[in-house]
Structure 1
Amino acid sequence: MKLTILGGGGFRVPLVYGALLQDHAEGRVTHVVLHDLDPARLSAVTRVLAEQAAGVPDAPEVTATTDLDEALRGADFVFSAIRVGGLEGRAHDERVALAEGVLGQETVGAGGIAYGLRTVPVAVDIARRVARLAPDAWVINFTNPAGLVTEAMSRHLGDRVIGICDSPVGLGRRIARVLGANPKEAWIDYVGLNHLGWVRGLRVAGRDELPRLLADPDLLGSFEEGKLFGVDWLRSLGAIPNEYLHYYYFNREAVRAYQQAEKTRGAFLHDQQARFYAEMRNPDAPAWKVWDQTRAEREATYMAENRETAGAGERDEDDLSGGYEKVALALMRAIARDERTTLILNVRNQRTLSVLDTDAVIEVPCLVDANGAHPVTVDPLPDHATGLVCAVKAVEREVLAAADSGSRATAVKAFALHPLVDSVNVARRLVEGYSEVHPGLAYLR
């Protein structure tokens, strides 16, 4: 089976390959094609994978190419993890937004809109090529903003594109762990959009254990989200939010923390990964060791500003192990081998949430089999959550409309409608500022 990884020179590719190395069953991935626009990055990652595969006799073959059509032909699965504009673009997203006093995070608020505006046209081109060159392939999208990009691609690929994210998986795992339950045996009642969802129940043997967690302040405050949001707020919500909702519930504090930080997250990652790729130009550098050290530093500093604002301290060691690669592998296994499973995924709504239309991509538990991912029926969201979901989905639709039409006015509307952008004039200045630093937004007129 052939897996094509778009963004194949990206730093996190060894996580995916590491998961593939642990799969020795029939029907596994035997050939991995890495595609990237940067030959030097491809070379660096290929070296890391070669060291990973040392001593594994049935390791998947790895080839690399800068030709997108060549990479896609004959693919059974396409894993999309591209970053349009690179980490330099992410740093610009943060800087321009913070100068206006609004959030610049890569998937939330102004930064997420800017990232989406320059990513959607590229993602749509990829979807059209997949439809033409590999019509039977399944596309697994991790490209951020994951829900928005998945919806853009679904207009050309239908249900054959599925978005993944490790945040809900990690959240469910942490809740199960503090409750003394096996995460593999727990049903997680999670619903929302990507980076905008809530765990409303966690059932073990048919019993919802979440009320027990919410009733115990010590237990509730013992894990990442309890520390991040605070026990009182979680008990008020009656649910456990995805960590990215900290940007909404504590927006003023988050913006201030980002403004006061020595470096934004994007700038930090840009400098960190530049050092990694520079070191990989040395043919004698121990590729795997250098990569693994860089990965550990990257994960330990994840959402550091938010945790500092909340006084949450350092991340638990159990949370420093990634996770999206495991979701991707489980999804591929379920489809390729008809190994039925349940995963929290980004898929078209169908009739799952009545407040959204059937084509809106949402993030919910799905039953997965050889025919793809099927969203599970869920209870309606409470009003406060419905309001946020509908508002952010409306923004995503304006981003898609702007990317399709090239309308600058529609882009302004997307920014202005976002709950974390507080003025139409700010929205106009954001479009101006982003257009100045991102060549990929030249299509907006």
Structure 2
Amino acid sequence: MRLTILGGGGFRVPLVYRALLEDPGRAVSEVVLHDTDPRRVAVIAEVLARLAQGHPAPVPVRVADGLDDALEGAGFVFSAIRVGGTAGRIRDERIPLSEGVLGQETVGAGGVLYGLRTIPVALHIAERVAALAPGAWVINFTNPAGMVTEAMSQVLGDRVIGICDSPVGLVRRAARAAGAEPAALADPDRAGYDYVGLNHLGWLRSLTLDGTELLPGLLADDEALGSFEEGRLFGGDWLRTLGALPNEYLHYYYFRRETLDSVRDTRETRGEFLDQQQGGFFTRAAAAGGPDAVYALWERARLEREETYMAHSREASGGWQRDSHDLEGGGYDRVALALMHAILGNSGTRLILNVRNGTTVPQLAPDAIVETVCEVSAQGARPLPCAPLREDQLGLMLQVKAVERATVEAAVFKDRSAALRALALHPLVDSPAVAARILERAAKEA
């Protein structure tokens, strides 16, 4: 089976390939890379060549000659594109910051700007998949994952599924802090969890092992909470008040003042850091001379990237280093391969995914994309019923979903009013006048 990776020159592609090589139930016979930047994809192909060295059965890798060539014959398509590159991300961050509101690539005004730029390209990809590979499953990594998946689902229906590694990372860290073994967590007959929300906006509300609810004990234990990222980010008092463990990105909502203060006068945004780091990596790698040297450069850059992830939020919550468990890399790759295996094997595996709501959250439209626990079979991912949302959770979901749907409308129909509505209604943008100025500047600097 052919696996196509769109955004094949992306920095995380080697993590997917490494997971494929280590996969005992491998179904992929060929990996096809497509990227709009030939220099980047050539460098990443060298990293993959180094990973394949010495492997008894490496997966062949080919760089496609255009999008249509990449899609024809594909069984699965991993979409991990970055429209506008890191230069676009820098604008998405800096323009809102100049107006005194948060700049972040998936949250707030920055996320809306990124969505406006990305959705038309994602829709074109969806249309080409429908024409050239109608039987393929599209697994969307592209941020902002919720709204991009929602746009692509207008063309592909349930054959596009969005993924994110934040929810599975939260579940894994919480279980470890509560004393559960990873093997037990992987056994659906022993472990269960209730997670619901939107992409980068969700809550772990239940965690059970052998019929025992673990979450209340974990929330009551400050030492255990202090042993993992979300516990340190939010603090025991607030987590006990919520009665749930929020996705790490909710730090931007719950502690917006502290997070904004940590980035308002920053010399370097996350986008600027990645632009310099990745630009330097690709420049050095192109002249490195051989897969071994290129791989060593990539591994050093990968570790630095992981160490600095969400640095401003960690600074705003007291400053601390990431755990070694969270520096290993991977996450997206493991979720994507688990999803692919579950579809191919018709296994009924349970995963947290971005899928059409159906009746999971009755207050949302059936076609709205939500992020929740799903059961995966050969027919795709089916969201499981969940407990009713609390009013504060539902209210935030409804408001941000209105922003996401307005962003999709604006991108599809080139509708400035919808774009302004998306920006002005976002909880992290505090004025329609500010929203209008952000929109005007983004249009001028595009």
TM tier relative to shorter chain? over 0.9
**Is structure 2 residue 214 aligned with structure 1 residue 199?**
no
CA apart distance, 1:216: 1.7
Q: Say which SS state the counterpart of residue 280 (structure 1) adopts.
A: helix
Q: Write out per-residue CA displacement over residues 201-237 of structure 1, whole angstroms, 9 at most, x where no aligned residue.
A: 1011122110111122222232211111111000000
Query: Residues 286-315 of structure 1, C-alpha deviation per residue, up to 9 Å, x if partnerless?
Result: 111110110000000000111011014111
Aligned length: 437
Bigger mean CA offset, 315-324 vs 109-118: 315-324
Output aligned runs, 1:9-408, within 5 Å.
9-25=9-25, 28-182=27-181, 183-185=185-187, 186-284=191-289, 286-321=293-328, 322-408=330-416
Helix, strand or coil for the counterpart of 1:377? coil
- 1:436 partner amino acid: K
Identity of aligned residues (%): 58
Taking the aligned partners of 2:396 and 2:30, their CA distance within structure 1 comes to 42
Using the alignment, how far apart are the partners of 2:270 and 2:430 within structure 1? 23
Uncovered stretches (5+) of structure 1, i.e. residues with no partner: 439-445
**Aligned partner letter, 2:306:** E
Q: How far, CA to CA, are the matches of 1:98 and 1:55 in structure 2?
A: 48
Give the secondary structure class of the aligned counterpart of 1:76. strand
CA shift, 1:405, in A, is 1.3
Deviates more, 1:179-188 or 1:306-315: 179-188
Any idea what SS the aligned residue of 2:138 has?
strand
Q: TM-score scaled to structure 1, two decimals?
A: 0.97
3-state SS in 1 of match to 2:31: strand
Greater Cα offset, 282-291 or 149-158: 282-291
1:294-353 CA-to-partner distances (Å, cap 9, x unmatched) read 000000000011101101411111111231100000001111122331100000001100
Residue type at the aligned position of 1:380: P
- The answer to whether the 8 A contact 1:228-1:312 is kept is no
**What do you get for the CA RMSD once the two structures are aligned?**
1.0
- The one-letter code sitting in structure 1 at the alignment partner of 2:169 is G
TM superposition outliers: structure 1 runs of 4+ over 4 Å: none
Looking at structure 2, the residues matched to 350 and 59 of structure 1 have their Cα atoms a distance apart, in angstroms, of: 40
How far apart, CA to CA, are the structure 2 residues paired with 1:106 and 1:355? 27
Kept in 2, the 8 Å contact 1:142–1:164? The answer is yes
Distance in 2 separating the partners of 1:217 and 1:42: 46
Could you give the per-residue CA deviations for residues 399-433 of structure 1, whole angstroms, max 9, x where no partner exists?
11111211112211110011110001001001011
Q: Matched residue of 2:27: which SS?
A: coil
- What secondary structure sits across from 2:143 in the alignment? coil
CA displacement, residues 19-47 of structure 1 (integer Å, 9 cap, x when unaligned): 1001243x611100000001101100000
Select between 428-437 and 162-171 the one with higher mean Cα deviation.
428-437
Match of 1:442 in 2: none
Amino acid at match of 1:265: R
Q: What is the TM-score when the length of structure 2 is the normalising length?
A: 0.96
CA distance in 2, matches of 1:15, 1:55: 17
Distance 2:9 2:225 in 1: 40
- Would the aligned equivalents of 1:65 and 1:71 in 2 still touch at CA under 8 Å? yes
Secondary structure of the residue that 2:286 maps to in structure 1?
coil
Amino acid at match of 2:74: A
1:59-80 C-alpha deviation (Å, 9 max, x unpaired) = 1110002400010001000000
Unaligned runs of 5+ in 2: none
Q: 2: CA distance between counterparts of 1:245 and 1:308?
A: 15
| Aligned AA (1:114) | L
Task: Quote the residue 1:441 is aligned against.
Answer: none
Q: Check conservation: 1:169, 1:344, Cα contact below 8 A.
A: yes
Are 2:3 and 1:3 equivalent residues in the alignment?
Answer: yes
The secondary structure found in structure 1 opposite 2:186 is helix
